[in-house]
Structure 1
Amino acid sequence: MFKKSLKISLIVIVLFSLTFTIACSNTKNSDTNHKVRLFEVTHSIFYTPLYVAIEKGFFKDQGLDVELTNANGGDKTMTALVSGSADVILVGTETTIYVYSQNPKDPAINFAQLTQTDGSFLVSREPIKNFTWDMLKGKTLLGQRKGGMPEMVSEYVQHLNGVEPKVDNEIIQNIDYANLGSAFVSGTGDFVQLFEPIASKIELEGKGHVVASFGHGSGKLPYTVFITKQSLIDKNPEIVQKFANAIYMAQQWVNEASLEEIADVITPQFQDFNRDVMLKVLDRYRSQGSWATDPIVDEEEYRNLEKVMEYAGELKEKIPYEAIVNTEFAKKAMEQ
């Protein structure tokens, strides 16, 4: 009887162990199968911490399979989220303000910040040792798209420095973003507002000179942020949390790594890049503190964004910070 009871007990233990193992295995497989469709506004070294999270495997460590798509524009990026083509998008917070003002049933929510300054630079034809913004008076500037953050920041920075854009100077805005650099090199305009790596490439070719940073001039902003729908937060908060965890891990790594180490990690994302240009761009962004060191979308930065949008005439109504910003996931990521 004892032997029979012992045998039954051992069978039960074995079955329990197998069940537990299978359950754990299924949980693990479930975690690794959490696919996240991420659309970015453009593919740029400006978003280095994101690519570090991908290449260092921080998303995979969190059980996320991130599929990255370049949407090539802010409008297209938000459209991907609203239409359901994207689960998470990387774009400026201003897009969530525009969407919320239309009273959506499922608002777009900012949950993790990636960059905290503008990422564009002012490029002149000739080197200027002691540039001041009033040098834009009476000149022609190749600008960015109306209503977009780069153009709003440009006009705001000029205004703060005593230059009234489009009054004291001419701003050309009918040239496509991808063609701004070539248009400038071909002879259009006295100055141009460019993102990296185009600014550094033109500089290394001796066809232009970076004389000022719009990021320095405007102060900190929730410039590019990870955004998702409220419905995803309600249904799958664990996915949003894991995403925020991976981003914070990348931010910490980038903050401590050397420029050479960072370049090594993100090279697979930019295989055609000249190494010297990449290092120069990385140094430029790190030096001006463009990368947020934590994923919290700060309220003070949000208020600064409102000022930029107000001056540009693009803020139709002020949207409460709490209505479109959720800091819960960012804070938990930092606690962990």
Structure 2
Amino acid sequence: MSFPCIMFNISQLTQTDGTFLVSREPIENFTWDDLKGSTFLGQRAGGMPQMVGEYVLKQNGIDPQNDLEELIQNIDFGNIPTAFASGTGDFVQLFEPQATQFEQDGIGYIIDSFGTQSGNIPYTVYMAKRSFMNSNEEIIEKFTRAIYRAQQWVQENPASVVAESISDFFEDTPLETIEQVVERYRDQGSYAETPLLQEDAWYLLQEIMEEAGELPREIPYENLVNTTIANKIMNE
């Protein structure tokens, strides 16, 4: 099958979902059954975080439509933390650094990770058109090489050093919090260690999308993933 104008996946950056399950009250010996009968403040319907969230719930025996008292999906992404802080929901699905900040402020408690629960998927991936790749091979290689070197650097350096390097992007977040977030994401394997998008992760992503009713049909790995460039850079 030919895909003349398709965007090809060329370089992976993150390999897990980045959200965490945060409860309003501390829960000792948490099990996913604790969500039954609760109000769950999730992410936007059809978005990647929500698809992963519902997949994880189902994998842990929770039917989002029948086991929860209420599943809230109509709050704008940027307002979800505010909604929870204002009293909406018993549980919420949050990204960092908001999840850690809520825990530090006593607003909520991180009790599980959707990233570790769902497994490795191509969560953040750089893509390029075939036409651009054909006429800009050197640029693509330089870009992928830079990504790979950065990935190695993140793995090799202390969390404090990594946090310092990105602190300008989180002006309202204390450096200590950023360091804790970096360590948490790295410990659970959220940062991809190479730019190569793995085949099993590709099909897990499609399984999650199909489960959410958002995948019209399965696309073979080799049709939309270019591994040549990543493998070349990794073997230099």
Q: Same fold by TM (over 0.5)? A: yes
From 122, 128, 135, the counterpart of 1:222 = 122
The runs of 5 or more residues in structure 2 that have no matched partner are: none
User: Across the two proteins, how many residue pairs are aligned to each other?
Assistant: 235
Which residue of structure 2 lines up, in the alignment, with residue 138 of structure 1? 37
**CA contact 2:4–2:130 (8 Å) conserved in 1:** no
| CA distance in structure 1 between the partners assigned to 2:233 and 2:27 by the alignment | 44
Which residue of structure 2 lines up, in the alignment, with residue 297 of structure 1? 197
**CA contact 2:51–2:209 (8 Å) conserved in 1:** yes
**CA contact 2:17–2:121 (8 Å) conserved in 1:** yes
Which residue of structure 2 lines up, in the alignment, with residue 3 of structure 1? none
Is structure 2 residue 161 aligned with structure 1 residue 261? yes
Which residue of structure 2 lines up, in the alignment, with residue 194 of structure 1? 94
| CA distance in structure 1 between the partners assigned to 2:62 and 2:175 by the alignment | 37
Which residue of structure 2 lines up, in the alignment, with residue 329 of structure 1? 229
Q: In structure 1, give the amino acid aligned to 2:37.
A: G
- Over 3 Å off, 4+ runs: none
Deviation of the 1:244 alpha carbon: 0.3
Which residue of structure 2 lines up, in the alignment, with residue 110 of structure 1? 9
What does 1:298-317 correspond to in 2, within 5 Å? Answer: 298-317=198-217
Deviation of the 1:104 alpha carbon: 7.0
Which residue of structure 2 lines up, in the alignment, with residue 125 of structure 1? 24
- TM-score (ref. length: structure 2): 0.96
Q: In structure 2, give the amino acid aligned to 1:306.
A: Q
Higher helix share: 1
Q: Looking at both structures, which has the greater relative contact order when contacts are Cα pairs under 8 Å and sequence separation is at least 6?
A: 2
What does 1:69-108 correspond to in 2, within 5 Å? Answer: 105-108=4-7
The runs of 5 or more residues in structure 1 that have no matched partner are: 1-102
Is structure 2 residue 40 aligned with structure 1 residue 148? no
Query: What is the SS of the residue equivalent to 2:232?
Result: helix
Which residue of structure 2 lines up, in the alignment, with residue 162 of structure 1? 61
Deviation of the 1:270 alpha carbon: 2.7
Deviations 1:146-186 (A, max 9, x none): 11111111111111111111211121011001010110011
What does 1:217-256 correspond to in 2, within 5 Å? Answer: 217-256=117-156
Q: In structure 2, give the amino acid aligned to 1:317.
A: R
Larger-gyration structure (1/2): 1
Q: In structure 1, give the amino acid aligned to 2:58.
A: H
| CA distance in structure 2 between the partners assigned to 1:119 and 1:299 by the alignment | 20
Which residue of structure 1 lines up, in the alignment, with residue 104 of structure 2? 204
The share of aligned pairs that are identical, in percent, is: 53
| CA distance in structure 1 between the partners assigned to 2:4 and 2:149 by the alignment | 33
* RMSD of aligned residue pairs (Cα, Å): 1.5
Q: In structure 1, give the amino acid aligned to 2:23.
A: S
Query: What is the SS of the residue equivalent to 2:80?
Result: helix
Deviations 1:162-220 (A, max 9, x none): 11112111210110010101100111111110001111111111111111100111011
Q: In structure 1, give the amino acid aligned to 2:12.
A: Q
Q: In structure 2, give the amino acid aligned to 1:118.
A: D
